[in-house]
Chains A and B, each alone.
Chain A
Amino acid sequence: MSAFNAIGADREIEDEEFTPGIEPQPTWCPGCGDFGVLNALKQAMPKVGRNPDEVAVFTGIGCSGKLNSYFESYGFHTIHGRSLPVARATKLANPGVEVIAAGGDGDGYGIGGNHFIHTARENHDMTYIVFNNEIFGLTKGQTSPTSPKGHKSKTQPSGSAKDPIRPLTLSLSAGASYIARTAAVNPNQAAEILAEAIQHDGFAHVDFLTQCPTWNKDAKQYVPYTDIQDSDEYGHDINDRAEAAEAMYDAESKLHEGEILTGRFYVDDERPSYTEEKQAIGEMPEQPLAERYFDEDTEWDRSYQLLEKHK
């Protein structure tokens, strides 16, 4: 019998189960795009059949970091930029747990950029949601890694001299095997994409456009948007890396010209997840690491058996 009975529990799951009794109402500003992520996640999770006790949501710091305060599951509100390394170790320790990491664009593409690159490169089986509002919200409106060139803020009074990060392109070259962009203003697509991302066996990166009505008033509300999968004008083979790269570059450029292109950009279902890669070289046991500490039948070998070479 598993020590983790929540994992794979076969039962009906209600949408309401993911709303915490302790903080049911988020304190985000009215009109904030973060509500869109929360609602989409609450819809996606029952859709994929997971219950709150088998889900772990890891967040960074910022408005987005509050996601797991308002979402009922195991939660770990880590430190700025570090949700990914904490999250991926929990996945390695217990692959049965459904692992979601989330953070803002500063958190994921700025201070935690190194972790983003390497987690994507390793293709851990998890979902990473980046709340992209092109601004630092909680610290009151400074320029962020995705702010457009020329964006003025208190810390960039003459406007940013930097080109923004291209998050989709970065993700593709780093090695993510599912890359999509959605927007808070497009709730149906958002819930569908999150459900797909969760079900994807590998690192799924969702760049989630979340408008900030308080600190990024100049920015568009990400409307009107185009779903590239439903568009006659757009649409590419999402399994084709080269086509995906072109589509991403286009979407990233057009965002700052006022055209919002969303949808799935790249999907690679062939690439093995990191756990599978580690198992293939014999450096990851079949039985989940965490399981063994709760299994009375586990036999614990000791270092004494290593002493022969020291004699």
Chain B
Amino acid sequence: MPEPEDLIWRIAGGSGDGIDSTSQNFAKALMRSGLNVFTHRHYPSRIRGGHTYVEVRAGNGPVNSRGDGYNFLLTLGDSFARNPGEDAYYGNEEAKPLTENLDDLNEGGIVIYDEGLLDEEDVEAINLEERAEENGWHVYPVDLRGIAREHGRDVMRNTAGVGFTAALMDIDPAYFEEIISNGMSGEMKEANLKVLEDAYELGQEVEHTHDWSAPTGDGHDEEQVLLSGSDAISYGAIDEGCRFISGYPMTPWTDVFTIMSQNLPKFDGVSEQVEDEIAAAALAIGASHAGVKAMSGSSGGGFALMSEPLGLAEMTETPLVLVEAMRAGPSTGMPTKPEQGDLEHILYTSQGDSTRVVFAPANVEECYTQTRKAFELAYEYQIPAIVAYDQKLQGELRNVPESFFDEEPNADPGSVLTEEEIAEAAHHASDKFKRFLHEPEDGSNVSPRSVPGQEGGRFLATGNEHNEVGHISEDPENRVIQMDRRMGKLDDIREELDAEESHQTYHGPEDADYGIITWGSQQDTVFEAVDHLNEAGHSVKAVGVSDLMPFPEAEMTEFLDSVEHAVVAEMNASGQLRGHIQKELGKYGDKMSSLLKYNGNPFEPRDIVEGFETSLDTGELPHTRMKYVPAAGD
């Protein structure tokens, strides 16, 4: 049977139907079978009911984005629908996971639906047969609920769906059996195994009208692990010796907060869930002030509450690491949908001139390395460092070689003195420690700190402008010296980053005529599109920007000078990265156009292809899913 390059399997159902865990297991099984995997999650802001889906893309080549459309739909139907079978506000809720997913199903794709839940009328109502014929889809109605009920509970419909998928796609069911056997016990395990077996057998018995199957795994060179961006951020923090987290739940930030809270006790660390995000950031500052490596974080609205403590950390030069997990705004926006609309908020929120480090990692690996670097810089330079990611990267799983994480921990608390060093350090005549030296040693802008409890180290930290021992001062000369020193740390950090392996990632031929610029979670989707574009005869390269503050001026100048025109692709409505580049570089307004998507769904590679081609003829985009904004002067 012919194998398409990748299987893109979408499982759809109601929130509460076990979509998430089933898809994770499905991805893990395919990873173990020797394929590369990538998941994409789409869910509503409701506890139960409302439709949700997850896609698992699996292939032998690099699988770095959700792909274009998808080719296999397993739809369970929404078993938690509040008005089953009736036309409710949102339409027929029970059938919605079937009806709402058909638009993006590729030609020749496969549909499995649960005929135990959806009756003929439901299916007739959406003209499934007609549409299947038009698109060459292969539809398999299966009584998934019946199989589940025979051995266990209704919710095991998801296992039945997986078994049936395995039969249609020629996937060895042993991979799924293994996951069920290891992950469950007792009656649950037995029942699920029987459901899997029955469904697989049924899938083999029915007549197969399709003529393709899933790719067979070539195998991996080394052991793989399946992680999300949130896992990688958390593990990066742990490996940097972070042993304190304070937070308040908010989607999608809750992910990192949960992972840290569950793991920190194993590492003798402390997690605090507190009254609000102001307190969350303030606690992280208090712990860091006492010498502990600490972090906090939130999403848009909660991060807004952190503005004032963030400024306090900048002014008092207290190390602080924050995570900002972006979701669609403004205000409550779309809580479970990704967006990159908080860039300006993250860069500039809080009164006065902002002095902070901002990284936007693009994938699991970058989440790990850049979180580690954020801690390192925060504690060495006594500055807040923010890791910005979004709901897309938060929930997507990818396989990474296990060896990638085989790294030494670094618990160095940075520029903190020991008591012996404090005894030698500069003090005011009154014995107060000079915590905020005008001219730290070796021309550095970092004045080493002491922490409470250390002998001879007492000083005052204050959000007011202050002199060398930390006491409030409005002396104009002191003011300028202290401001310049604090701001100067950003130049020092830029210099350090420029001397290391770049956080910016490049893709495509170096001498390409055109460029695409993107940031954070959209990077790998853009790179896939760049491959398609070059295959189609265009001359394009791309850069994924991670360092947003301090900005990589030299690198971005070189990139923009090397191309005739660049499209800046980002998930917001006002082209915030494009504006930031213009501000930081002071030019290129006439060289950059914007491709913007802010409908709650991340870019697909084909969106970028379409957007790029539109930019070439500065025409209109054929649909309203995205917006094209031409360069200044065009």
Asked whether, in the complex, the Cβ of B290 is within 8 Å of the Cβ of A93, the reply is: yes
Query: Quick one: which of A21, A90, A284, A304 contacts B452, CB cutoff 8 A?
Result: A90
Q: Given A21-B429, A293-B413, A93–B460 Cβ distance below 8 Å? A: no
Does B309 belong to the interface (CB within 8 Å)? yes
Q: Are B225 and A307 in contact (CB under 8 A)?
A: yes
B269 closest partner in A (C-beta): A289
List 5 other contacts, CB 8 Å, given A82-B278, A85-B282, A311-B226: A76-B462, A85-B278, A85-B283, A115-B275, A301-B238
Question: Are A290 and B283 interface neighbours, CB within 8 A?
Answer: no
Chain B residues with CB under 8 A of A88: 283, 286
Closest to A111 in B: B278
* A9 and B291 contacting across the interface, CB-CB below 8 Å: no
B469 beta carbon closer than 8 Å to chain A: yes
Binds A, one of B34-42, B81-89, B239-247: B239-247
A188 at interface (Cβ–Cβ under 8 A)? no
B130-171 CB mask vs A (1 if < 8 Å, else 0) is 000000000000000000000000000000000000000000
Which B residues from 375 to 412 make CB contacts under 8 A with A?
402, 405-409, 411
B residues 421-435 near A (Cβ < 8 Å) are: 428-432
B453 touches A290 (CB 8 A): yes
What 1/0 flags go to A287-311 for Cβ under 8 Å of B?
A: 1011011100010111110110011
* B534 on interface, CB distance cutoff 8 Å: no
A107 to chain B, nearest CB (A): 13
Report if A114 contacts B (CB, 8 A). Answer: yes
Q: Is the CB of A294 within 8 A of B225?
A: no
Contact of A76 among B236, B238, B289, B430 (CB under 8 A): B289
For A22, the chain B residues whose CB sits under 8 A away are: 428, 430, 432, 469, 471
Minimal beta-carbon separation of A308 from chain B (angstroms): 9
A60 and B531 CA atoms in complex are apart in Å by 56
Q: Can you report 18 A-B residue pairs in the complex whose CB atoms are below 8 A from each other? A: A6-B454, A22-B430, A77-B463, A82-B312, A86-B285, A88-B283, A89-B284, A89-B287, A90-B452, A92-B244, A93-B291, A115-B275, A285-B270, A290-B291, A293-B416, A300-B411, A303-B234, A310-B226
Q: Answer whether residue A38 sits at the interface, using C-beta atoms and an 8 A cutoff.
A: no
Known contacts A87-B286, A89-B283; A303/B239 CB under 8 A: yes
User: A276 contacts the other chain (Cβ, under 8 Å)?
Assistant: no
Q: Which residues of the partner chain A approach B469 to less than 8 Å between Cβ atoms?
A: 22
Question: Chain A's nearest CB lies how many Å from the CB of B179?
Answer: 11
Asked whether, in the complex, the Cβ of A89 is within 8 Å of the Cβ of B282, the reply is yes
B239-283: which have CB < 8 Å to A?
A: 239, 241, 243-244, 246, 263, 265-272, 274-276, 278-280, 282-283
Chain A neighbourhood of B430, CB < 8 A:
20-22, 72
Interface 0/1 of B492-531, CB less than 8 Å to A: 0000000000000000000000000000000000000000
**A93-B292, A293-B292, A303-B405 known; A85+B453 contact, CB < 8 A:** no
- Greatest chain A CB density within 10 A among B231, B452, B460 is at B452
Please indicate the chain B residues that have their CB under 8 angstroms from the CB of A78 in the complex: 282, 312, 463
Instruction: Tell me if A73 counts as interface (CB < 8 A to partner B).
Output: yes
Contact between B270 and A284, CB atoms less than 8 A apart: yes
Q: 1/0 per position for B162-201, CB-CB distance to A under 8 A?
A: 0000000000000000000000000000000000000000
Select from chain A the residue with minimum beta-carbon distance to B405: A304
**C-alpha spacing A9/B432, complex, angstroms:** 18
Interface residues as binary, A88-111 with B (CB distance below 8 Å gives 1, 0 otherwise): 111011101100000000000000
For the complex, give the distance between the alpha carbons of A87 and B282 in Å. 9
CB within 8 A of A301: which of B267, B280, B462? B267
Q: Is B621 an interface residue (CB 8 A)?
A: no
Residue of B276, B280, B286, B460 with most chain A CB atoms under a 10 A cut-off? B286
Contact B429 A302, beta carbon cutoff 8 Å:
no
Task: Classify chain A's interface size.
Answer: 35 or more
Q: How far is the CA of A20 from the CA of B274 in the complex (A)?
A: 34
Given A89-B285, A93-B286, A307-B225; A75-B263 close (CB under 8 Å):
no
* Interface 9-mer from A50-58, A225-233, A242-250, A260-268: A50-58
B428 adjacent to A21 (CB under 8 Å): yes
Of the listed residues B430, B431, B455, the one surrounded by the most CB atoms of chain A closer than 10 A to its CB is: B455
Query: B574 → chain A, closest Cβ, in Å?
Result: 30
Interface size on B, residues (CB 8 A): 82
B286 touches A86 (CB 8 A): yes
A115 to B275, CA, bound (A): 7
Interface check B610, CB cutoff 8 A: no
B461 interfacial contact with A, CB 8 Å: yes
Q: Nearest 9 A-B pairs (CB), nearest first? A: A21-B430, A89-B286, A4-B453, A303-B235, A93-B290, A85-B282, A77-B462, A310-B225, A89-B283
Q: Which residues of B contact A287 (CB under 8 A)?
A: 268
Q: In the complex, A87→B309 CA distance in Å?
A: 13
Q: B287 contacts A85, CB within 8 Å?
A: no
| A22-B432, A22-B469, A293-B293 known; A72+B458 contact, CB < 8 A | yes
Q: Tell me whether B287 and A289 are in contact (CB under 8 A).
A: yes
Residues in chain B near residue A72, CB distance under 8 A: 430, 432, 458
- With both beta carbons as reference points, the residue of chain A lying nearest to B422 in the complex is identified as A53
CA distance A23 to B32 in the complex (A): 67
Contact with A along B465-485 (1 / 0, CB 8 A): 000011110000000000000
A177 at the interface (CB under 8 A from B): no
Return chain B residues, CB-CB under 8 Å to A114.
275-276, 279
Distance in angstroms between the alpha carbons of A164 and B242 in the assembled complex: 43
Q: Mark A39-70, 1 if CB is under 8 A from B, else 0.
A: 00000000000001111101000000010110
Instruction: Give every chain A residue within 8 A of B285 (Cβ-Cβ).
Output: 86, 89
Does B275 lie within 8 Å of A21, measured CB to CB? no
Task: Pick the most buried of A20, A55, A68: most chain B CB atoms within 10 A of its CB.
Answer: A20
* Complex alpha-carbon distance, A122 and B224, angstroms: 43
Q: Does A215 contact B (CB under 8 A)?
A: no
- Chain A contacts for B231, CB-based, 8 A: 310
